[in-house]
């Protein structure tokens, strides 16, 4: 094996970094350069690190640094990464070692790569000195269980895979005059009001409007965001954000009014976004989070409806390996490992909310 050389990427390296990550089957918007800029606007510090072999990039990871509370030592987080060939455990170990050598005062590195649970590649994480962390489903940083739809066979075949009731609901919405269109930034407030209505109804936390403005202002110019609004009789009744990178378009935020749900706006909106993703060359439509399934049944009963809705589009259930930690300062890490879940549980109890940090 040739020597593996780590290299920190700077602004001038943006194109080569994104080119490598976007070409990977593991590409996710959260590993794109632009996503680091979004998170920088929320107080995170993005760092991009690659490994090169014979002058060629063979591994990359965007590592975000934050402090959980003022004065605390930092933690590092590599969302949906690192991006590399997990069939080569020596590459993952070299990447982990390179991050550890540059970690400074950080307590740990947390990763949640899109590696499928039970796959041969999953064994690489243990071999690289990582340890399984808590979290899972919607209780972790990113959803462990997702639904994905392969657009490769073409739209006709894709729609044939929908449940017949879903095809009927799409036609019903069209007959009722439901309209879906891609929206511009001037309609961000419309989407956000729908999102607030959804959050109140379904009891989850929602970020401030400025966060969504940051998403739009950074990702839209990079070609990594599309916003859709659904109208009925001229009134906005649903909306969604679709984030995209590499071969994947990901349904990330959905919002809907309490009114006019009988005209099935969400079925038609999903179909139109699937059409959009296919037209723009994406191979995978990612419905994102659902409840993990055990013995054929969702284990998180309060979101079991998400499983049924997304499965009705013919999407395939995928469960990832979840969160993995690299302890850096071991004594402090033990405090984090056992203290952080208790603190998060207490915070949710005080707020009367459930859910997770979705991004």
Alpha helices in the chain (DSSP H): 14-23, 33-40, 89-101, 123-127, 155-160, 164-175, 188-202, 209-219, 265-279, 304-311, 330-351
> How far apart are the C-alpha atoms of 68 and 72, rounded to whole Å?
7
Give the pairing of strands 297-298 and 316-319. Answer: unpaired
Backbone phi, psi, residue 157, to 5° = -65, -40
pLDDT of 348 over the 90 cut: no
Give the pairing of strands 284-289 and 293-294. Answer: unpaired
Give the pairing of strands 284-289 and 248-256. Answer: parallel
> How far apart are the C-alpha atoms of 77 and 268, rounded to whole Å?
36
HSE-up of 207 (CA within 13 Å, CB side)? 15
> pTM of the full predicted structure?
0.92
Got the DSSP string for 207-240? --HHHHHHHHHHHTTTT-EEEEEEEETTEEEEEE
Domain 4-135+321-351 and domain 146-318 have a common topology: yes
Domain ranges of the chain: 4-135+321-351, 146-318
Fold of 4-135+321-351: Aminopeptidase (3.40.630)
pLDDT of 101 over the 50 cut: yes
pLDDT of 346 over the 80 cut: no
Give the pairing of strands 145-150 and 284-289. Answer: antiparallel
Q: Predicted confidence band at 340 (pLDDT cuts at 50, 70, 90)?
A: low
Question: Cα–Cα distances in Å, from 106 out to 63, 69, 153, 160?
Answer: 12, 13, 45, 50
Query: Per CATH, the architecture of 146-318 is what?
Result: 3-Layer(aba) Sandwich (3.40)
pLDDT of 356 over the 60 cut: no
């Amino acid at each position: 094996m040739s020597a593996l050389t780590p290299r920190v990427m700077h602004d001038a390296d943006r194109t080569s970094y994104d080119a490598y990550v976007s070409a990977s089957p593991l590409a996710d918007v959260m590993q794109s350069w632009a996503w680091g800029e979004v998170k920088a606007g929320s107080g995170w510090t993005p760092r991009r690190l690659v490994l090169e072999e014979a002058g060629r990039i063979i591994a990359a990871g965007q590592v975000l640094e934050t402090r959980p509370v003022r004065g605390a030592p930092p933690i590092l987080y590599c969302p949906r990464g690192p991006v590399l060939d997990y069939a080569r455990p020596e590459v993952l170990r070299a990447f982990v070692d390179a991050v550890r050598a540059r970690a400074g005062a950080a307590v740990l590195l947390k990763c949640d790569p899109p590696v499928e649970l039970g796959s041969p590649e999953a064994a690489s994480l243990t071999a690289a000195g990582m340890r399984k962390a808590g979290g899972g489903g919607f209780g972790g940083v990113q959803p462990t269980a997702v639904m994905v739809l392969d657009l490769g066979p073409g739209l006709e075949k894709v729609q044939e895979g929908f449940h017949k009731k879903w095809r009927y609901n799409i036609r019903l919405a069209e007959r009722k005059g439901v309209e879906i269109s891609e929206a511009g930034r001037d309609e961000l407030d419309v989407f956000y009001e729908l999102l607030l209505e959804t959050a109140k109804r379904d009891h989850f936390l929602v970020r401030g409007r400025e966060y969504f403005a940051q998403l739009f202002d950074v990702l839209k110019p990079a070609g990594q965001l599309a916003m859709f609004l659904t109208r009925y009789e001229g009134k906005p009744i649903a909306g969604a954000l679709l984030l995209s990178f590499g071969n994947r378009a990901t349904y990330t935020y959905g919002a809907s009014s309490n009114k006019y749900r009988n005209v099935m706006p969400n079925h038609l909106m999903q179909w139109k976004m699937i059409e959009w993703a296919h037209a723009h060359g994406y191979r995978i439509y990612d419905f994102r989070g659902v409840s993990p399934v055990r013995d054929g049944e969702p284990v998180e009963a309060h979101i079991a409806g998400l499983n049924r809705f997304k499965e009705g589009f013919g999407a395939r259930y995928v469960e990832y390996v979840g969160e993995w930690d690299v302890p850096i300062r071991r004594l402090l890490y033990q405090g984090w490992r056992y203290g952080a879940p208790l603190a998060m549980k207490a915070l949710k109890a005080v707020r009367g909310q459930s859910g997770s940090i979705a991004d």
